[in-house]
Amino acid sequence: MSLPRRITWLTAAWLSALAVTAQAKAPEGQALAQAAGIPWPAVIAHRGASFDAPESTQASYLLARELGADYLEMDLQRTRDGQLIALHDTNLGRTTDVATKFPEQKDQPVSQFTLAQLKTLDAGSWFNKAYPDRARSAYAGLKILTLDEIIDLADQDPAHRPGLYIETKAPLLFPGIEKDLTAKLIQRGWLTADGHVAPQHRVVLQTFEKSSLTLLNQFMPKVPKVLLLWVGEGSIEPTSKVAYDPASGETKAAYYARQTPRDHAEFERWLDFAKANGAIGTGPSAALTQGGDQSYMDLVQPWMNQMTHAKGLLVHVYTVDDPVDYQKVMDAGVDGIFTNRSSELLKFYHRPASRSVDDILKANGY
Ligand code: G3P
Ligand code: CA
């Protein structure tokens, strides 16, 4: 073997040893999570355990809590009389019987209803119709919940103390909601008077809106925050600006999967904004193997996660339910997953719940 070739061989051996050492090393995000006091990898129950129970209801959050999810995820909105509630859509049509109870107001935003009006709505029966194989008669009549009620649920069981992962949903419709949220978390003892998360609790704040992140950081500088990522108008600039055409026959999931950030620099600009405005991480979307209505752009490509980690930011990807995709996104380097199926993700992370979904629901009267 000639000397240069031998040097090449030795270099290769050294590099391979380095690679083994690197593999044995804890993932980069794990140390970042530890420093931020965030479980790694994190199980974030998206609208509760919303595969198995109607989203954002007592059944869904209680199930997620009892399964052992790290966080109860919610979309925060505000009623006409100033109450903070959890609901994903900006109107009530998909998940309630608003069309029957308030036909004239059926398309109006949540902000046009008082809490008393919202509490008359049935937020469970739609699930039984949409998913007959998962239907339970006790889901009929479930109510929209206030943030206070979700805090009660999170506080109730000493054996399971999930954190809250709170999104300011459409925050431009609710001026001042960041301040209201701060006041509520302090009032409920989840934040100390000097703005830290209270020792026995976990909170992460999340938003797609840059301006809301800035306000969250202004009012709650010491609370972990995540900037949610999306490609499109008002978000990360796409490579192509061709809008989705339903007449094309392409599914929305396939269209989204084709959307990519204009270039690396554009993606990096969003990371830099997140970092400069107090975020400890980002919440990128994922393209799912099976498609479906929660399959979006692939914003967890390895280079993206590496760039995010290099800036000292964590990656919590939304919304993944299938073990094939859990593996894919973990291999790509994410630090936690928003999931509708906490039971499955906990199994995947080798933290299976001690009771089945059915046992928990039955034990709680569902
Ligand atoms: O908050 C993360 C994820 O929930 C964002 O998507 O539309 O379900 O709120 P969405
Ligand atoms: Ca959300």
Is the CB of residue 48 less than 8 Å from the CB of residue 364?
no
d(CA 283, ligand 2 centre) in Å: 10
Q: Examine the pLDDT at 25 and tell me if it is beyond 90.
A: no
Residue range 7-31: mean pLDDT, rounded: 56
The better pLDDT of the pair 6, 333 is held by 333
What does the block give as tokens for 211? 């301006």
pLDDT tens by residue, 191-243:
999 999 999 999 999 999 999 999 999 999 999 999 999 999 999 999 999 99
Q: How confident is the model at residue 10 (pLDDT cuts 50, 70, 90)?
A: very low
d(CA 88, ligand 2 centre) in Å: 7
DSSP 290: T
H or E segment and range at residue 293 = none
Ligand 1 pocket test, pick from 43, 44, 46, 230 with the greatest ligand atom count within 8 Å of Cβ, gives: 46
Ligand 1 atom 10, closest CA: 88
Report pLDDT for 5. 39
pLDDT tens by residue, 307-326:
999 999 999 999 999 999 99
Nearest ligand, measured from the Cα of 208: 1
Active site residue 88: yes
Q: What domains sit in the chain, N to C, each tagged with a CATH number?
A: 28-89+148-359 (3.20.20.190)
Ligand 1 pocket test, pick from 76, 94, 167, 226 with the greatest ligand atom count within 8 Å of Cβ, gives: 167
Question: What gap in Å lies between CA 92 and CA 122, rounded to an integer?
Answer: 10
Instruction: Give residue 257's identity as a one-letter amino acid code.
Output: A
Indicate which atom in ligand 1 lies nearest the CA of residue 169: 9
pLDDT tens by residue, 77-113:
999 999 999 999 999 999 999 999 999 999 999 999 9
Question: What gap in Å lies between CA 74 and CA 44, rounded to an integer?
Answer: 10
Q: What is the DSSP string of 58-96?
A: HHHHHHHHHHT-SEEEEEEEE-TTS-EEE-SSSBSTTTS
Cα separation values, 197 from 224, 277, 291, 312, 365, Å: 9, 18, 37, 21, 33
Active site residue 160: no
pLDDT tens by residue, 104-159:
999 999 999 999 999 999 999 999 999 999 999 999 999 999 999 999 999 999 99
Q: How confident is the model at residue 26 (pLDDT cuts 50, 70, 90)?
A: confident
Is the CB of residue 264 less than 8 Å from the CB of residue 303?
yes
Report pLDDT for 3. 34
Q: Considering the candidates 46, 201, 309, 316, report the single residue annotated as catalytic.
A: 46
d(CA 23, ligand 2 centre) in Å: 33
Question: What gap in Å lies between CA 316 and CA 334, rounded to an integer?
Answer: 6
Indicate which atom in ligand 1 lies nearest the CA of residue 319: 3
Report pLDDT for 24. 58
Cα separation values, 274 from 245, 282, 312, 335, Å: 32, 7, 11, 17
Nearest ligand, measured from the Cα of 50: 1
Whether the predicted model's global pTM rises above the 0.75 cut: yes
Backbone angles phi, psi at 28, to 5 degrees: -55, -40
